[in-house]
Chain A
Amino acid sequence: MNKLKQSNETIQDLDIMIAIPSVVIAIGFLYMPRVLAEPTIGLDAIYTILLGGVITILLTWLGVSLAIHFPGQSFVTYASKLVSKPIAVALALLFALHGILITCFEVRAIAEISHLYLFNRTPIEVIGLAFLLVVIYAVAGSRVAIFRLNALFFPVILVAIFILAVFSLGFTDATNAYPFFQTDLNGYSFATLRSISTIGGFGVFGYVLFYVSLIRSPKKTPKMAMYGVILVILLHLIIFTMTLLVFGNITTSNLMFPVIELARAIELPGGFFNRFDSLFFVVWTMAIFNTTVMTYDLAVIVFQSVFKNAKKEKLVFLLAPIIFFISGLPKNTYELDYSGRMLSYFGITLATGVTLLLFVLHKVRGVK
C-alpha cells in the first residue's frame, strides 16, 4: 500500500513545463502592461521583456539542471550536502516564507479585484475566505493532483488569453506603436528589472528547486522548464503588445489593471459574449487558483522536510489561519501594491541568490 502511494507521488517532465506558466501567471499579469509601459516609450518594453525573459530562462535552467543531479531528494537533503544542514534549512524556510506571503498576496488581490468589479457589497474578507477554503481543499490532497489541476486549467487560460488577443485586434490603432527606440537607458534598465519580476512571477521560478525532486526520471527537465518560461514570455509579449496597441503607452501606464480593461473593451456581437470580461474573470480566477495552490503547497513541502514527523493535513490547517490573517493586513490597495513590490524584490533576490549559490557550490565541490 505504502509503496503504491509512493510511486504515485511522481510527476513527468511535461508537468514542469505546464506548472511554470501556471504558477507565474496570476495577479501580476493583469497589471504587467502598466508597470512596463511606465518607464518606457511606445512599444519599447518589448525588448526588455525579451531581455528579462532570457535572464529568467537562464536562472530557471540553472536551478533545474542543479536539482536533477539529486533525483528524488528534497531540497533540504541535497542543499545540506552543499551548504551544511542549518543553512539549508534556513534557506528552505525563507522559501516557505515567500510561498506563504505570495499566497496571502494573491488571496487578498483576487478578493480585492472581485470586490471591485463583481461583488460590490460582499466584504473583501468573505471573498478571500471563500477562495482560500477552496485552495486549502486542493493543497490538503495529493501533491500530484495539484499538477493535474494545473494541466487541466492551463489550456483554458491559454484559450482565454488567445481570445483576448484576437478579439482586441479590431480595437488596435497602429499609431500607438510609434515611436521606436526613444526610451533612455534608465528607462530600459528599470523596465528590464520589472520584466524579470513579472516573468519570474515574483521569484516563484525558484520553486523548481523543490518540485524537480518529484519527477521520477528527470532527463529532459531543463529543456521542458525552458519551454515553460518561453511560454510565459510569449504570453507577456502578446498581451503587452495588444494592450499597448489598443490603449497607447500613456493611457496604459494610467490604467490600474490594463488587461482587465482590455477584456472590458472587447465587445462581440450577440448577447452572451458581448461582455467578454465576465468570462475572463472566471478564467483568471482559475489562473490565480493555480498559483495560490502551488505557492501554498511549497510552504507545506518545506515544513514537511523540516518537521519530518508532522502530518501534511496538520501543516496545511495550521498555515491556513496564518495566511488568512496576513492577507487581511494591508489597509488599502496602495499598501497591497507596495507589499507586492517588496515581495517581488524579496522573491527575485532569494531565488536568484540561492540558485546561483547552490549551482556554483555544486560545480566547485562536485557533490554527487
Chain B
Amino acid sequence: MRKYLEILSSLFVIVFLSGCWDSEEIENRAFIRGSSIDLAEQTTKDNPQLTLTQQLIVPAAIGTATTGGGEQPAFRNLALSGESLMHINNEISKRANRTLYAHHLEVLLFSEDVVKQPDLFEKLLDLFTREQQNRRSVLVAVTKEKASSLLDIEPEHIKVPSQYISELLDNKKSAEVSPPLRLGDLHEKLFANVSFVIPYLAIVDDKSIENSGVAVFNTNERAVIGTLDGPLTMGRNFMTGDMEAGNMRISIQDAKANIMIANVQSSLKLTNKDKNNLTFEIDVNISGVISETNSKINPHTHLDLYAKGLEKEVKKLVDKTITKAQTDLKTDIFKFNIYLYGHHYKLWESLKDEWDTGANYFANSKINVTVNANIEMSGNTQFTTQKEKGS
C-alpha cells in the first residue's frame, strides 16, 4: 500500500516539475518592434483621444541572409484609437492572431501634437516604465508629422521601418541631432524636474526620414514648447559637449572652407552666484581637420587662419542659440539645471521652482562662451588646384 502511495505521489509531482504553465511557443508570439502615439481625430479639449500604432514583425517576410524574404512587407501596423494606451493595446490584441510581445520594442514615437499637450506626455510614459515587458533602453523621439506615418516609411535596404528609425536615432555622425534619448533617461529627467531636449524626426520623402534638430521639453509646462532646427541644435551641442562628429562651414580671408570636427570638449562654470545676476562661463575646445577648402593660401602653413575662422563661426552660432533659448523658448536646453543641482545644490534648491518659468532665472542669466579651436591638420593635400602663381 505504502509503495503504491509513494509511486502515486511521485507521479503527482510531475505536474509541478514540467514547469510549462507559462510556456508560449515563439511561433505564437507577435513581436512589437516600434510603437507610435498620435492624437486621434475625435480629440476634444478636455478629453484627449489617442491613436496607438504597433508595428509587428512578420518573420516569414524577413527571411534569412541566404534565402531572402518574400515580396510581402516584413511588418504589420495595427492602429486603434481610444482613451488609454493599455486599453487600446488590449483592443489591438483582439486583432492580432498572436500574443503581443513587447520585450523587443525598440522605438517609441510621439507626434508633436501629443507632446505639446500639457501633462499628456508623461501620463503616456507611465505605461512604458511601469509595465514589466518594456525595457528602459527603448529609444524615444518626437515626430513632426503623424508618428504613425513614420512607421510606413520603408527604405530600400531595411525591411522594417522601426529598425530603420532606431538605427537613425543611434547614428552619431551628424552634429545637428540630439544624442539618442532612452526611455530610462527620459524617466530620470521627468523625475528630476529638469528641462531637456528630445530627438526630432521628420519625413523627407516616402523612402527616408531625417533626424534633425530637437524638440524642447519645458519641465514647468510639462510639455514640449518648441523645436530647435539643425544648426541651432549644433550650437547647443557645442555648448554641452554632446557632439562626436560634425561639419562646420567657415569663411576665411578669400574663400569658404569646410572643417570636419573631430572632438569637442566644453566645461561649464558658474562665476556669479547672485540669484538675479547669474553668470555662466563656458569654455568650448574644438579640434578639427580641414575637409574642404577653395582658398588660395597654403592651408598647411596657415592652420591658425582656419582656427580663427572656425572660432568666429562657432561663436556666432552659439550666440544665436543662446538668444533663441533665452528669449524665444525661455527654457534651459544647456543642461545648466543638472550642473546647478550637482555643483550648487543649495542655490538650485532656492531657485529651481522659477528656473525656466515665472521669474525665469535662466532667461535672465548671463552666458559667456569662449571658443578655442585647434585645426589638427590640413588634410592629404596642400593647395587646391587653383593655386595662386608664385605663392
Contact = CB atoms under 8 A, between A and B. Distances in A.
A130 B191 contact: no
B184, B339, B346: most-surrounded residue (chain A CB, <10 A): B184
A291 B384 CA distance: 74
Contacts of B21: 119, 121-122, 126
B50 to A, nearest CB: 25
A275 to B, nearest CB: 8
A41 B345 contact: yes
A101 B184 CA distance: 36
Contacts of B22: 118-122
Nearest to A250: B191
Contact of B188 (A177, A248, A264, A275): A248
The dominant DSSP class at the B interface is helix
B132 A247 contact: no
B300 interface: no
B116 interface: no
B103, B137, B341, B346: most-surrounded residue (chain A CB, <10 A): B341
Contact of B345 (A116, A130, A179, A267): A179
Nearest to B135: A264
B13 to A, nearest CB: 8
A251 B188 contact: yes
A118 B23 CA distance: 10
Contacts of B335: 175
Contact of B343 (A130, A178, A247, A264): A178
A41, A118, A175: most-surrounded residue (chain B CB, <10 A): A175
A90 to B, nearest CB: 38
Interface in B1-30: 16, 19, 21-22
A38 interface: no
B137 A254 contact: no
A175 B342 CA distance: 7
B187 interface: yes
B338 interface: yes
A295 B223 CA distance: 51
A42, A133, A248: most-surrounded residue (chain B CB, <10 A): A248
Interface of A: 41-42, 116-122, 126, 129-130, 133, 175, 177-179, 182, 247-248, 250-251, 254, 261, 264-265, 267, 275
16 contacts: A116-B132, A117-B132, A118-B22, A120-B22, A121-B21, A122-B22, A126-B21, A130-B16, A247-B184, A248-B188, A250-B188, A250-B191, A250-B192, A251-B188, A261-B136, A265-B135
7 closest A-B pairs (Cβ-Cβ)? A178-B342, A122-B21, A179-B345, A119-B22, A251-B188, A250-B191, A182-B345
